[in-house]
Amino acid sequence: MVERNPWWNNVSGPFPEAYGCVGVKADGGGSMRGRGIVGKMVIHRAVNNRDAAAIKAAIEAGDDVNEVEAAGNTPLHNAAYEGWVEGAELLLQLGAKINASNNAGDTPWHWASNMGHTDVCDFLVKNGAKKQQGQVIVPEHIPKVKEFYTSGEAPDHPLPSQEFMAWRKAEDDAYAKEQEQLIPGM
């Protein structure tokens, strides 16, 4: 059953045009773009392969050291998860935001801690990492309660993008058109 008055009908703009692979939170992390393409993730892949030369090449080619994937993780999250101190050091030298938090509010320090990489945790703290959770955000495609944006419970939460709102309207219009073609009582 489709909700008669879904949350996206209860939010007003102005909406950002679209979200890409740039963090949406003040700390530099987070992603509202949980559906479709977020970005090329060149640096994320280089970190996962522990390829310092590829990281440097990506930065020289114009890629953002703080790119985020759909869950709002930065390449520094990946280095912390992998326990790669040298990679974390390189990313910080290239401008990575040490306290960028993902959609769940986890920073690279949390990921290193969760994986038991105390050497990475110590390195991050020595370089300014905080242990507090960041802001939790809900990507634009995730269902929300009708009052999510108007209740005052999430005053700093990013709004959905114009792109999402247009896609959502097209989906609703197609559903309404399909409903009109149904035979009542069948």
Statement: residue 2 has pLDDT above 60: no
Cα gap 137→154, rounded to integer Å: 9
Tell me the mean pLDDT in the region 103-118.
Answer: 96
Q: Specify if 12 maps to a domain.
A: no
- How much of the chain exceeds pLDDT 90, in percent? 47
Which of 68-82, 94-108, 161-175 has the weakest average pLDDT? 161-175
Domain that holds residue 130: 17-181
Statement: residue 36 has pLDDT above 80: no
> Regarding predicted confidence, which is higher, 37 or 87?
87
pLDDT of residue 1: 46
Q: Specify if 21 maps to a domain.
A: yes
Q: Specify if 30 maps to a domain.
A: yes
Give this prediction's pTM: 0.79
What value does the CA radius of gyration of the chain take, rounded to a whole number of Å?
Answer: 20
> Regarding predicted confidence, which is higher, 182 or 112?
112
Phi (first) and psi of residue 148, to 5 degrees:
-50, -50
Q: Specify if 123 maps to a domain.
A: yes
Per the structure, how many domains does the chain have?
Answer: 1
Q: Specify if 119 maps to a domain.
A: yes
Statement: residue 109 has pLDDT above 60: yes
Rama region for 169: left / alpha / beta (φ>0; ψ in -120 to 50; rest)? alpha
Q: Specify if 53 maps to a domain.
A: yes
69: domain CATH number is 1.25.40.20
Q: How far is CA 49 from the centre of its chain?
A: 22
Q: Specify if 170 maps to a domain.
A: yes
Q: Specify if 10 maps to a domain.
A: no
Average pLDDT of the chain is 86
